[in-house]
Structure 1
Amino acid sequence: MRRSCLTPSVLLALACLLPPVAAPAADGESSCLEAGRWTVLGSDGLRAGAEQSAVMEMVAGRDVVLLGEQHDDVDHHRWQLQTLAALHARRPDLVIGFEMFPRRVQPVLDRWVAGELSEQQFLKQVEWSEVWSMPAELYLPLFHFARINKVPMLALNIDQSLIRKVAKSGWNGVPDAERGGVGSAAAPSPSYVDMLYDVHRQHARMRAGDGNESTREDEAFRNFVDAQLVWDRAMAEALAEARGGAQPPLMVGIMGSGHVRFGHGVAHQLRDLGVAEVGLLLPVAATASCSEFVAGLADAVFAIQETVREPAPPPRLGVSLEEHKDGVRIAQVSEGSLAARTGLRTDDVIVEAAGTPLKRSTTLVSLVRAQPPGTWLPIKLKRADETLEVIVRFPSVN
């Protein structure tokens, strides 16, 4: 499966740096999956193929079912839609929780399901382009499924500002009044800490070069773990709280696979909250090696065939450029272009892109053309008397 991520913050580090679930088989390794079929993972590590009806029957009686994803993979979202439909057929009392929304926009989700908002109004009011970095087109089929079936949508996440505070100062460094109502997380398992350390080490290398080697004792790593735990805890608390009542609904969580795998993340926090019956379902590459599938990874995995895709056209900002003494001046912004959607304006002077000072327009053009789909390009610009930093988000090609 594809994975292209460039993230300037800790917020998507786990999603971007974890290997896909699961990696394609290397030369000499064999795959044991059949595209379009489920495989159940037994507690003893044995694997057995299963029909979708059997898998749905296995998890539909759970308290919560978590559906993982690689955020920028359209096939993962198609699989989620298929799985939601199958679960809804067995459990009409469904509630769908989404990692993509902070809790404060819950009233907007309610109005969307009630049919009171257009797509454009919905995406604007949930602040999609500011809160979530992925194209809305990847998720809209899921949102429409909830709307046409009158299935409640639940905002699981917290504001990014809280994650940044924890990543900077640790959980104990954030005052109670600034914790957004999130409780203290259960201590992570040693294997989860091991996984997070691998992610953090990769992230540190990306930011500071291969010569920067973090250790488990570093304050930055401890804060990184705290940030991940508060993220997991917040989503678990939202799912657990929404189960209230004499006949709790089936809660389904849509979230990155890093929060699902091995039950380390959200499932671990749910168990600490007294929600014991949690189903874990993951989409995987049909070409993955058998060795990737070990006991505890998930209850079942669904094998997805790699889709043949057209070559992506070279990225374009949609601007006319002129040389300027301070950098590169934007002479014109094309209507509806990536630059326009990013908020770039005529007469903006771009002084830096991806950390590279700009003196010639050809340098910026080369940086843009080299940008893979689904990645971010941080730029610094001068606008009148202000110096601004903005992120150009290049859409995924699916």
Structure 2
Amino acid sequence: MPAVTTTRALVPASSRGRGAFFVLPLLAVLLALSACARPAPTGQPMPVSFLPAPGEFLTDAGDPLPPEALRRRAATAAYVLVGESHGNACDHEAEARILAILAHAETPPAVGLEMAPAAQNPVLAEFSRGAFPPEELERRLDWKTNWGHPFAKYLPVFRAIRDWRLPAFGLNVPPGVIRRLSAAAMQNATTDATGADPVAALSPEDRAHLPARIIEPAPEQLAFLREVMGSHPRQAKAGQGAVDPRQEARFLLIQSVWDSAMAEQAVRARRTTGRPVVVLAGTAHVEGGLGIARRIRVLDPGAEVLLISPWRGDEFAKADADVRVYCPESFESRMGMTLESRPLVLAGQGGQDFEVLVGAVRRGSPAEAAGLRPGDVVLRAGGHRMRSLAVLHLAGSDAYREKKNLVFVIRRGEDCYSVDLGRLGQQGSRPAPSGGAQPAQPGGR
């Protein structure tokens, strides 16, 4: 334990005999054991009945769900909505696994993709037939323009589509049309107090890409979207936290167009192919059934919708989804490190605690040069205790604003070290010249 090492270092030199060396650690151990002798609480709820590995499925009650059980669970669903965080590699690997599992069903599914406009369906049709390899999709779909998130993370999904010859369909509206609709919404709000329809300001060509019916949010989703809107610093008035009504109206319109378009295209894919449709989209469009699912139920009444969403190890909310996939939150830094957040306590209402691990370090990167290694546990970032990956943003902002180096305190085995990652936002910035992880000072935890 790091505490034992620290205790020994604080013993006065005159007392560092054999007896002093053993007595203080022994007292620390005895105190720790006595503190652990309390009976475990029995009244706390148990949200999950096992500690899942990344990629494992859970029921909405928090119990294991084997692949065959997932296939049976999805057998009656017309639509299977799978949520993702676009930058989380585990989410995309889980999506690929879900497609492989459902490809063995009596009627394999079609796949609807938020990350591709419906205008790209001819390209996806060729790809599904095996006309070209997955690696060519980035260019053919104009991925950087139409989506922008790292294409490599989506390769497992596209390989599963190709391997199982699943029909694939783009679901969303081209980003250029969304930008022009957004601008029209703001222009109308600025110049026309009567609230003219911004859709009417678009060209006929642009309007052809919009859903035939723009379904407004349910009250529950409206509250959620307003909360998201209000938490965005660029959308709130300085010092007030109040949302500009024009910005809010534009935001709600774009979200409604996005969800309505994806639902409309998913329903069209089901009717075109006669297959169930697996929709891959961001978690905000899936969880709780308020986004795409609600619009599907309007457009295809009576159709069964199954919701699958990632679970990060936080509070387990049964209402979010019918099936959960455990995928830890992760962050891939340009410094060459990948950090993962793992739950330490799964006690539900008792309050979660997490540890942040270094999952990978790219060879030759600044992170490697600074001494960071896979398996390190990040205890502190700057002046903040590393309770979650969100702390990294706070620590980085502090270091950038104060023109200081970003320093981690990490635990490696029984030892603690400091890791100097250098300045942020400066080209050519290097870790401290001494290089490597340095022993942390007492109290560094």
Please tell me the TM-score bracket, short chain as reference.
0.5 to 0.7
Between Structure 1 and Structure 2, how many residues are aligned? Answer: 285
Conserved 8 A contact 1:261-1:280: yes
Structure 2 residue identity aligned to 1:39: L
1:350-371 per-residue CA deviation (whole Å, 9 max, x = no partner) reads xxxxxx9xxxxxxxx9525699
Distance (Å, rounded) in 2 between the aligned partners of 1:66 and 1:147: 20
Q: Which residue of 2 aligns with 1:174?
A: 199
Distance (Å, rounded) in 2 between the aligned partners of 1:369 and 1:30: 49
The structure showing larger relative contact order (alpha-carbon pairs under 8 Å, at least 6 residues apart) is 1
Structure 1 residue identity aligned to 2:299: L
Q: Which residue of 2 aligns with 1:211?
A: 239
CA shift in 2, pair 1:368/1:58, >3 Å:
farther
Match of 1:131 among 146, 155, 170: 146
Structure 2 residue identity aligned to 1:367: G
TM-score when normalising by structure 2? 0.58
Q: 1:99, CA displacement in angstroms?
A: 0.7
RMSD: 3.0
Q: 1:34 is paired with a residue of what secondary structure?
A: coil
Q: Which residue of 2 aligns with 1:256?
A: 282
The runs of 4+ residues in structure 1 deviating greater than 6 Å are 28-31
Conserved 8 A contact 1:167-1:220: no
CA shift in 2, pair 1:147/1:30, >3 Å:
same
Q: Which residue of 1 aligns with 2:295?
A: 269
CA shift in 2, pair 1:59/1:115, >3 Å:
closer
Conserved 8 A contact 2:210-2:257: no
Q: 1:279, CA displacement in angstroms?
A: 0.7
- Say which is worse superposed, 121-130 or 225-234, in terms of deviation: 121-130
Q: Which residue of 2 aligns with 1:52?
A: 67
Distance (Å, rounded) in 1 between the aligned partners of 2:259 and 2:323: 21
Structure 1 residue identity aligned to 2:70: V
Q: Which residue of 2 aligns with 1:293?
A: 317
Structure 1's unaligned 5+ residue stretches are: 1-27, 316-355, 357-364, 372-398
1:41-97 per-residue CA deviation (whole Å, 9 max, x = no partner) reads 2xxxx5544333223211222111011101000011111111111111114432111
Distance (Å, rounded) in 2 between the aligned partners of 1:199 and 1:369: 33
Distance (Å, rounded) in 1 between the aligned partners of 2:216 and 2:235: 28
Structure 2 residue identity aligned to 1:211: G
Q: Which residue of 2 aligns with 1:367?
A: 425
Distance (Å, rounded) in 2 between the aligned partners of 1:260 and 1:147: 24
Distance (Å, rounded) in 2 between the aligned partners of 1:189 and 1:132: 27
The share of aligned pairs that are identical, in percent, is 25
Q: Which residue of 2 aligns with 1:35?
A: 52
Structure 2's unaligned 5+ residue stretches are: 1-43, 186-195, 330-339, 341-357, 368-400, 402-422, 430-445
- Higher Cα Rg: structure 1 or 2? 2
Match of 2:123 among 108, 132, 151: 108
Q: Which residue of 2 aligns with 1:200?
A: 229
Match of 1:140 among 134, 150, 155: 155
Q: 2:104 is paired with a residue of what secondary structure?
A: helix
Distance (Å, rounded) in 2 between the aligned partners of 1:224 and 1:143: 31
1:97-118 per-residue CA deviation (whole Å, 9 max, x = no partner) reads 1111111111111222223234
Q: Which residue of 2 aligns with 1:351?
A: none
Conserved 8 A contact 2:310-2:324: yes
Check if 1:71 corresponds to 2:121.
no
Distance (Å, rounded) in 2 between the aligned partners of 1:201 and 1:221: 9
CA shift in 2, pair 1:211/1:168, >3 Å:
farther
